[in-house]
Structure 1
Amino acid sequence: WKDYYDGLLAFYLRRNMKFDSDALPAFSGVLKVLSKTLGPFHFGLPKKYFGRSLLWTDPHYGVFKRRAHFPSWSWAGW
């Protein structure tokens, strides 16, 4: 599951959002499909693997700016 989730997330994170608040809603369709297998998500991270999911990495190596609408520990916050 992790490679699949990471691949989708890396693809998504390359996109530019016009509004910072769109970060999580724009990925919500993917999360809805993934939740059928992984269960519920919390700020874009699967609750079932929450600890492991906190180890997400930035595929762009620090070019993101902080999105204040979301927690800093979630990819949605960057």
Structure 2
Amino acid sequence: MGKIPVSKVAQLREKAGLTQRQLADLVGVTESTIRNLERNRNGVEQIERIVKLCRALRCSAEELIEYKSVEEGEIDA
């Protein structure tokens, strides 16, 4: 049988000593979003894609994006 992605968000959150609310506040999402990630309801596919991107590009997740000033008109739409 094949393998499916299973979220480790709850395990890592608990190891960090955070509640779902605290993690949600830190990340800037709702508690419901964290709960859904922990229960494999939604978002796990996006995490899996990011992991695959990082492996393919041999980079960290942080290296996939950079932040540019909107005021300076540096963002391509």
Shorter-chain TM range is: under 0.3
> Rg bigger for which structure?
2
Considering Cα pairs closer than 8 Å and 6+ residues apart, tell me whether 1 or 2 has the greater RCO: 1
Q: Normalized against structure 2, the TM-score is what?
A: 0.26
TM-score by length of 1: 0.26
Give the structure with the larger strand fraction.
1
